[in-house]
């Protein structure tokens, strides 16, 4: 493990930024934090969660996939893919690091999504332990330890020091570059901090969430539950939950006529939207109840069934704080019996 | 980077022939610009066709894999992409990617079986691929029965091929029906499910049903009434798709994705899925 005085943090960012673009949470000038490309003067903002999750780095809200040139009856297909820059994401919370695994299972399974893979391969992730978990946090339910975040490098921040520990080859290479700014220290130096974090986690209001009743083989049990109607009654179908969610990955593919050609792009979509499944002969999910049910069934039952029990939720709490009608996955889980007895 | 293939990036196709099948169905013959088949496929699989600027949509490949020269798509005019295709002429380039989906088990469960194909309307499109595959590999299968119904005789897709080729095969029995009486039609009149019951097939057959959802539902009921087990009956499903490889999330039903786990399903497998299709 290495440590670095917080007074040298700017030097550290400077050094990282020399070999790869550095991104970190900084103020969005609206009270929240947003991942920002670091430059001299950009301050690291140590808030719990960025408003938008870091999934944007690998699965951006919109990205161009290819271009077409049209001439009479002829078409030319242009492969516009480019090698991603090398980049480092600093300050990713344990829950968000876990979300990359959830996304990897989708985009890196055969046939591999080359757009996602390219960016993933060029990224180094420096996570950050959560010194002040919030009331909306429930990552522990998913086996995530906020005191021991994963990533290529794990980081802990105290009043005066930043501790860094490499978990992967990529992480070790990065730390090697920072050796002049850091000094060796014992892993045990962060132990008191970890204990403090774990103690806070135990006392959080959502500590009682249990996944025991969810996962593989639960489709029949929950699909026809009368509770969906009541739970979804006030849902506006705005899709905010899906956009702030670090694991939601449904997308649309659309064409844009530039005047001199066509750009085919991919953008985030939401199962909460009425035209998500609408096709010429009808819509398989006509009502908001069905769409609402789909989102939670996918996260709690369908996804785990296809991914060795891994849930498509990491307990980051973004949907809890952003839903305009205060509906969220925790309320759904509780209603369906997901509380520790 | 550019050397890595990505399934979302299509190849070019050229429409070399457009056949008018019915007032709202046309069959498009597609090859690559150098005159070859774009890719190999198995019966029941699909391909994404697109016209840049209009959109991309999934279609079942109507031609049999045994056709090594070209692919065919029988397409009903019913939306943006299909409207555009219907006004396209020979020589028009399009884009194509695939093949996608789980095919009919022609090399396993269907082998050596007596086959009963039941289609309604445009539902013949995906079945034509497997019917012609079985006709071309005749020794591998038992008898073939085909029940096909449409609104009117003008709405029967591939009518010429059915009459000129299928009905002339030995051990291939074609049973056509149309919904209402029509001048010039001396065949059977009535809906497919009741015609199936009327014909009363041997329950040792393996059946494949494709058509509008309501037709599939009632035909399956008729089959059960005749004594068939759901494990002997196959069907195909259709939901909105964008990626074709189980990632975009659209065609998700339960833990399945119709684009990659289907479109072919055995009817007992459908019982495992939530009723949402």
SS3 letters across chain A: CEEEEHHHHHHHHHHHHHHCEEEEEEECCCCCEEEEECCCCCCCCCCCCCCCCHHHHCCCCEEEEEEEEEECCEEEEECCCCCCCCEEEEEEEHHHHHHHHHHHHHHCCCCCCHHHHHHHHCEEEEEECCCCCCCCCCHHHHCCCCCCCCCCEEEEECCCEEEEEECCHHHHHHHHHCCCCCEECCHHHHHHHHHHHHHHHHHCHHHHECCCCCCCCCHHHHHCCCHHHHHHCCCCCCCHHHHHCCCCCCEEEEEEECCCCEEEEEEECCCCCCCCCEECCEECCCCHHHHHHHHHHHHHHHHHHHCCCCCCCCCCCHHHHHCCCCCCHHHHHHHCCCECC
Block residue for tokens 């509380």? A339
B7 touches chain A (CB under 8 A): yes
Check residue A280 and give its pLDDT.
Answer: 81
Residues from chain B that touch A83, judged by Cβ atoms under 8 A, are: 1
Structure confidence by residue, pLDDT tens digits, B188-247: 999 999 999 999 999 999 999 999 989 999 999 999 999 999 999 999 998 999 999 999
CA A245 to chain B, closest CA, distance in angstroms equals 15
* Domain edges within chain B: 11-100, 115-236
Whether A25 maps to a domain, the answer reads yes
Are residues A181 and A35 both part of a single domain?
yes
DSSP B17: E
Residue A329 lies in a domain: yes
CATH topology of domain B115-236: Rossmann fold (3.40.50)
pLDDT at B277: 76
Using the Cβ of B18 and the Cβ atoms of chain A, whether some distance falls under 8 Å is answered with no
Is the minimum CB–CB distance between A250 and chain B shorter than 8 Å?
yes
Is the per-residue pLDDT at B1 higher than 60? no
Q: Tell me, what's the ipTM? A: 0.93
For residues A100 and A169, state if they share a domain: yes
Q: Which of A204, A231, A250 is the last residue of a domain?
A: A204
Q: Mean pLDDT throughout B51-68?
A: 96
In A, minimum Cα distance to B81 occurs at: A280
List, as ranges, residues 69-88 from A with C-beta within 8 Å of B. 70, 73-75, 77, 79, 81-83
A-interface mutation test, from B56, B76, B248, most A Cβ less than 10 A away = B248
Residue B254 contacts A where some CB pair is shorter than 8 Å = yes
pLDDT score of B2 more than 90: no
A21 vs B: CB within 8 A:
no
pLDDT at A339: 79
Question: Into how many domains does chain A fold?
Answer: 2
Residue A212 resides in a domain: no
Contact A215, A309 (CB under 8 A): yes
Q: Tell me the chain A residues in contact with residue B250 when contact means C-beta distances shorter than 8 Å.
A: 250, 269, 276-277
Contacts of B92 in chain A (CB under 8 A): 73
Q: For residue B55, what is the nearest residue in chain A, using CA coordinates?
A: A255
Average pLDDT, chain B: 95
DSSP B271: H
For residue A146, give how far its alpha carbon lies from the nearest alpha carbon of chain B (Å): 29
Instruction: Say which residue the tokens 């498509």 belong to.
Output: A312
Nearest to B240 among A83, A117, A277 (CB): A277
Are residues A240 and A320 both part of a single domain? yes
Which residue of A280, A285, A304 to mutate against B (max B Cβ within 10 Å)? A280
Residue A159 belongs to what domain range?
Answer: 2-204
Touching check for B67 and chain A: CB below 8 Å? no
Residues A192 and A272 in one domain: no
A252 touches chain B (CB under 8 A): yes
- With CA atoms as reference, the chain A residue closest to B90 would be A73
Is CATH 3.40.50.300 correct for B11-100?
Answer: no
Query: Per the CB < 8 Å rule, is A284 touching B253?
Result: yes
Residues A195 and A271 in one domain: no
pLDDT value, residue B3: 62
Is the domain of A196 the same as that of A228?
A: no
Whether B11-100 shares its CATH topology with B115-236 is answered no
- Please count the residue pairs, one from chain A and one from chain B, whose beta carbons lie less than 8 angstroms apart: 126
Cβ of B8 and A65 within 8 Å? yes
B247 closest CB neighbour out of A107, A223, A302:
A107
Residues A178 and A265 grouped into a single domain: no
Domain boundary among the residues A176, A204, A232 is at: A204
B9 interface with A at CB cutoff 8 Å: yes
A14 and A154 within one domain = yes
Nearest to B60 by CA among B77, B51, B72, B78: B72
Provide the chain A residues 179-208 that lie in CB contact (below 8 A) with chain B.
Answer: none
Q: Cβ neighbours of residue B87 under 8 Å, at least 6 residues apart?
A: none
- Contact flag B12-A75 (C-beta cutoff 8 Å): yes
pLDDT one digit per residue (tens) for chain A, 341 residues = 999 999 999 999 999 999 999 999 999 999 999 999 999 999 999 999 999 999 999 999 999 999 999 999 999 999 999 999 999 999 999 999 999 999 999 999 999 999 999 999 999 999 999 999 999 999 999 999 999 999 999 999 999 999 999 999 999 999 999 999 999 999 999 999 999 999 999 999 998 899 999 999 999 999 999 999 999 999 999 999 999 999 999 999 999 999 999 999 999 999 999 999 998 878 889 999 999 999 999 999 999 999 999 999 999 999 999 999 999 999 999 999 877 76
What residues in A contact B212, CB-CB < 8 Å?
281
Are A246 and A279 members of one domain?
Answer: yes
Same domain, A24 and A74: yes
Domain contains A134: yes
Residue after which a domain boundary falls, among A147, A174, A204 = A204
d(Cα A49, Cα A31) in Å, to the nearest integer?
12
pTM: 0.95
Separation in Å, CA of A222 to nearest CA in chain B: 10
> Is residue A195 located within the same domain as residue A270?
no
- The reply to whether A180 falls in a domain is yes
Sign of dihedral through CA atoms B135, B34, A69, A249?
Answer: positive
């Amino acid at each position: 493990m290495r440590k670095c005085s917080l007074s040298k943090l700017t030097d550290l960012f400077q050094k990282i930024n020399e070999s790869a673009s550095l991104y970190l949470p900084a103020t969005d000038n609206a009270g929240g934090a947003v991942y920002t490309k670091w430059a001299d003067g950009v301050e690291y903002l140590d808030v719990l969660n960025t408003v938008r999750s870091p999934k944007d780095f690998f699965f951006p809200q919109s990205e161009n996939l290819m271009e077409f040139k049209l001439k009479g009856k002829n078409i030319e297909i242009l492969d516009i893919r480019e090698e991603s820059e090398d980049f480092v994401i600093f300050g990713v919370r344990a829950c968000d690091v876990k979300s990359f695994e959830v996304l990897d299972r989708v985009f890196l399974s055969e046939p591999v999504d080359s757009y996602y893979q390219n960016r993933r391969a060029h990224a180094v992730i420096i996570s950050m332990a959560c010194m002040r978990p919030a009331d909306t946090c429930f990552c522990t339910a998913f086996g995530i330890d906020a005191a021991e975040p994963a990533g290529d490098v794990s980081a802990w921040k105290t009043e005066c020091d930043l501790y860094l520990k490499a978990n992967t080859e990529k992480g070790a290479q990065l730390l090697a570059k920072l050796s002049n700014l850091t000094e060796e220290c014992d892993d045990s130096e962060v132990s008191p901090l970890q204990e403090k974090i774990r103690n806070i986690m135990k006392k959080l209001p959502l500590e009682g969430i249990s996944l025991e009743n969810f996962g593989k083989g639960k489709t029949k049990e929950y699909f026809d539950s009368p509770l969906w109607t009541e739970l979804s009654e006030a849902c506006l179908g705005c899709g905010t939950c899906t956009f702030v969610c670090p694991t939601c990955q449904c997308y649309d593919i659309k064409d844009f006529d530039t005047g001199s050609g066509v750009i085919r792009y991919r953008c985030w979509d939401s199962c909460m939207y009425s035209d998500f499944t609408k096709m010429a002969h009808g819509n398989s999910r006509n009502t908001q109840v069905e769409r609402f049910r789909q989102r939670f069934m996918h996260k709690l039952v369908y996804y785990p069934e296809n991914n060795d029990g891994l849930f498509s939720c990491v307990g980051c709490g973004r949907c809890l704080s952003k839903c305009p009608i205060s509906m969220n996955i925790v309320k759904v889980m509780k209603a369906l019996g997901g509380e520790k007895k | 980077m550019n050397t890595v293939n990505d399934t979302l990036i299509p190849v070019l196709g050229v429409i070399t022939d457009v056949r008018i099948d019915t007032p709202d169905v046309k069959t498009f013959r597609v090859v690559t610009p150098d005159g070859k088949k774009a890719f190999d496929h198995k019966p029941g699989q699909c391909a994404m066709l697109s016209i840049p600027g209009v959109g991309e949509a999934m279609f079942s490949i109507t031609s049999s894999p045994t056709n090594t020269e070209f692919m065919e798509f029988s397409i009903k005019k019913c939306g943006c992409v299909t409207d555009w295709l219907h006004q396209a002429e020979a020589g028009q380039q399009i884009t194509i990617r695939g093949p996608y989906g789980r095919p009919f088990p022609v090399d396993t469960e269907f082998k050596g079986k007596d086959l009963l194909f039941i289609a309604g309307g445009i539902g013949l499109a995906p079945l034509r691929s497997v019917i012609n595959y079985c006709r071309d590999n005749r020794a591998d299968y038992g008898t073939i029965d085909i029940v096909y119904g449409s609104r009117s005789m003008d709405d029967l897709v591939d009518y010429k091929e059915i009459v000129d080729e299928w009905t002339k095969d030995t051990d291939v029995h074609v049973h056509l029906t149309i919904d209402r009486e029509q001048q010039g039609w001396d065949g059977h009149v009535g809906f497919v499910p009741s015609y199936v019951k009327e014909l009363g097939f041997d329950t040792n057959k393996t059946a494949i049903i494709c058509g509008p959802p309501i037709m599939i539902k009632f035909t399956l009921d008729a089959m059960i009434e005749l004594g068939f087990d759901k494990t002997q009956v196959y069907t195909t499903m259709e939901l909105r798709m964008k990626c074709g490889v189980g990632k975009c999330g659209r065609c998700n039903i339960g833990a399945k994705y119709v684009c990659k786990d289907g479109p072919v399903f055995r009817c007992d497998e459908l019982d495992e899925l939530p009723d949402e299709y």
